[in-house]
Amino acid sequence: MGAAVDIGPVTLEAIANDATRRYDLRAVFGNDRPIELELGIGKGRFLIQNATDRQDVNFVGVEWASRYYRLVAERAAKRGLPNVRLIRDDAAHVVRDTIADDTIAVLHVYFPDPWPKSRHLKRRLIQPPFARQAARVLHDGGLVKLGTDHPDYAQQMEEVFLADADFEPVFRAVGPEAPVGVTNWETKFRAQGRTIHKFEFRRKPRR
């Protein structure tokens, strides 16, 4: 782990470090508002903007890189956003080991690293075991929202969630049809003229 960041209540490193328990994040926020989880927040534009605009929703951001984690933690603390918490850790580990069942309303994953080299493909976040974990943590009717500029990873994202019996596709857009998002990488990729792929999958009701 990186050095502790003195951002007070915004950060949740202690939670992410404890792989032996899963947490109901409602207790962390102290209210019953819906919780949205963003994995790989980068500079946090999506998280901060949404937390500012939708104060009736709680947001948890996960970021591996200390530099970005610290930047976003400082921004959230400066704005005094009561509805933001951050975890500096590996996204797959956080979802698998620290998030309680049936506690998340929306899972956001925007422009995750595509790991294009064939020997690195196994490092991609969106793989069948991830979809299983997403189904576990999401509420019935909860959404996974995905974006990428990488055609091969886009295909993998779609195939993984279409193949998971607990999800149904609800939105798919490619290129000019894809709604414009606010993340740094999306802005950068659009400026480069890259084709953006967006998907949403809904968690089917548990029986």
Ligand X SMILES: C[S@@+](CC[C@H](N)C(=O)[O-])C[C@H]1O[C@@H](n2cnc3c(N)ncnc32)[C@H](O)[C@@H]1O
User: What positions carry a catalytic annotation?
Assistant: 113
The residue among 184 and 195 lying less far from ligand X, judged by its C-beta, is 184
Tell me the two tokens of residue 17. 């470090």
Least CB distance to ligand X at residue 130 (A): 11
Sheet holding 197-203, edge to edge: 84-88, 58-63, 35-39, 104-110, 138-148, 197-203, 167-174
> Does residue 199 belong to the site contacting ligand X (CB under 6 A)?
no
DSSP output for 88-128: ES-HHHIIIIIB-TT-EEEEEEES-----SGGGGGG-S-SH
The residue among 49 and 55 lying less far from ligand X, judged by its C-beta, is 49
Q: What is the rounded distance in angstroms from the CA atom of residue 40 to the CA atom of residue 46?
A: 11
Q: What is the rounded distance in angstroms from the CA atom of residue 148 to the CA atom of residue 206?
A: 29
Least CB distance to ligand X at residue 61 (A): 9
**Which listed residue (127, 184, 195, 204) binds ligand X by CB under 6 A?**
184
Within 21-80, which residues bind ligand X (CB under 6 A)?
A: 40-42, 62-65, 68
The residue among 80 and 179 lying less far from ligand X, judged by its C-beta, is 179
> What character string, x for contact with ligand X (CB under 6 A) and - otherwise, covers 95-114?
---------------xxxx-
Q: What is the rounded distance in angstroms from the CA atom of residue 91 to the CA atom of residue 127?
A: 13
> Does residue 167 belong to the site contacting ligand X (CB under 6 A)?
no
Least CB distance to ligand X at residue 207 (A): 32
> Does residue 185 belong to the site contacting ligand X (CB under 6 A)?
yes
The residue among 96 and 204 lying less far from ligand X, judged by its C-beta, is 96
Neighbour count for residue 114 (Cβ, 10 Å): 20
Q: What is the rounded distance in angstroms from the CA atom of residue 46 to the CA atom of residue 20?
A: 30
The contact set with ligand X (CB under 6 A) reads: 40-42, 62-65, 68, 90-91, 110-113, 183-186
